[in-house]
């Protein structure tokens, strides 16, 4: 079942941040698309059977905290 999850990641401030978060999230099973809005510091993940703990861990692996 397709799902959409949005996280606030206040520590992002540049394109490097966007790439790091996008790459880590894209590697999580079930993730089909990642949209990062640097202006609002929000990350939207779309996919199937998304696991909240894995998504949060991927953001942490990129070096950021979910707000």
Single pTM value for the model: 0.94
β-pair partners for 45: 5, 34
Domain ranges of the chain: 2-61
Q: What is the pLDDT of residues 17-63, one digit of tens each?
A: 999 999 999 999 999 999 999 999 999 999 999 999 999 999 999 99
What class does CATH assign to 2-61?
alpha beta
Mean pLDDT for the stretch of residues 3-29: 97
Cα–chain center distance at 15: 14
């Amino acid at each position: 079942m397709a799902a959409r999850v949005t996280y606030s990641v206040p520590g992002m401030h540049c394109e490097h941040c966007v790439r790091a978060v996008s790459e880590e999230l894209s590697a999580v099973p079930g993730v089909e698309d990642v949209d990062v809005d640097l202006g609002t510091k929000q990350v939207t993940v779309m996919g199937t059977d998304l696991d909240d703990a894995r998504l949060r861990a991927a953001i942490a692996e990129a070096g950021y905290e979910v707000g």
